Amino acid sequence: MIKKISKKLFNFNKILKDLENKGFSRIKNYKSEEKCLKTIKVLETILSLRIKKSEFVGNSNNQVLYNYFIEFPDLLDFVYDENIFKLMSKVLDEDHVLTSTSARNKRILKTLEKSSGTSGIGWHTDTRYVFQNKVPVKPSLSYIVIFLLEDFTKENAATQFVPYSHKFNFRPERNKAYETDFFIGKKGDIFILDTSLFHKAGVSSIKSRWAIFSMYSSWFIKPYFQFDKMFKKKELESLNPELKQLFHCNSIPPKNHRKNRATLKRVQNK
């Protein structure tokens, strides 16, 4: 029998302190083993489908499935999670949105080509910079949530990070030899990190390491994709209010000044 995950594990005060002090927080056993295994099977199916359609799936060292929910809408529960939504409302604002989401596996898969480039390679942050793109905006305007579907270990390309680098006021050098640590965790765990934290993908291995990475931001940050255009009108209307918000439906700028003069829908409706 699969043990149900208690929402008490999601300690908001601890997470907020962790984010402030360490730049990340780990929540153990958030998803069940059964959920992880089922999701992995679905992701492998999506990978095969996209390969057959010659769609982007990353490369032989790093498989990447952007917007995995297109083929399997049930995976939208990784986009909208009640606890994550509440947390982002605290660390960002009540109108926060989804910037990007992708399932990733830093696995060596020789049947794929090596040519397609992927993000996450080399030291980087996912925050925003000003003053000639050199100085990070503080506090961060975005946070990343990683759902571990398989164990993260040093041997299977666990994400690396530079401790306390979310407090640095400069941009990382992509190939510099920093003092590093790893996000080590078990399947079902989640990591939440400040996008100012220096991090990079680990070294690819033959071992599978599926995880879902989602970045949430303040409403005025552009998404990587036009999420609202991925659904038919009826499909979009059937989504819950939180998903509509995350997909930027509540923060699309008005067409012109004749109808509205505010971007946020809740402001328009006042």
34-90 pLDDT, tens digit each: 999 999 999 999 999 999 999 999 999 999 999 999 999 999 999 999 999 999 999
Q: How far apart, in whole angstroms, are the C-alpha atoms of residue 242 and residue 248?
A: 10
pLDDT tier for residue 258 given thresholds of 50, 70 and 90 = confident
pLDDT tier for residue 4 given thresholds of 50, 70 and 90 = very low
Q: Which tens digits make up the pLDDT trace of 107-122?
A: 999 888 776 677 768 8
With a CB cutoff of 8 Å and minimum separation 6, the contacts of 173 are 123
Tokens (6 digits) for 154: 């040093």
Per-residue pLDDT averaged across 196-214, rounded? 95
Q: Please determine, for residue 3, whether its predicted confidence score (pLDDT) is greater than 80.
A: no
Q: What is the DSSP letter of 154?
A: G
Over pLDDT 90: what percentage of the chain?
83
Look at 262 and 77; give whichever has higher pLDDT. Answer: 77
pLDDT tier for residue 8 given thresholds of 50, 70 and 90 = low
- All structural domains of the chain with their residue ranges: 7-217
Q: Please determine, for residue 6, whether its predicted confidence score (pLDDT) is greater than 60.
A: no
| pLDDT attached to residue 41 | 98
Q: Please determine, for residue 7, whether its predicted confidence score (pLDDT) is greater than 60.
A: no
Q: Which tens digits make up the pLDDT trace of 17-27?
A: 999 999 999 99
H-only helix segments in 4-159: 12-21, 33-52, 82-91
Tokens (6 digits) for 61: 């060292």
Confirm if 182 and 105 have CB atoms less than 8 A apart: no
pLDDT tier for residue 1 given thresholds of 50, 70 and 90 = very low
Q: Please determine, for residue 5, whether its predicted confidence score (pLDDT) is greater than 60.
A: no
| pLDDT attached to residue 120 | 67
**What is the Rg, in whole angstroms, of the alpha carbon atoms belonging to the chain?**
19
Q: Which tens digits make up the pLDDT trace of 119-144?
A: 768 899 999 999 988 899 999 999 99
Q: Please determine, for residue 266, whether its predicted confidence score (pLDDT) is greater than 70.
A: yes
Q: How far apart, in whole angstroms, are the C-alpha atoms of residue 142 and residue 164?
A: 17
H-only helix segments in the chain: 12-21, 33-52, 82-91, 233-238, 241-246, 265-268
Q: Which CATH superfamily is domain 7-217 in?
A: q2cbj1_9rhob like domain (2.60.120.620)
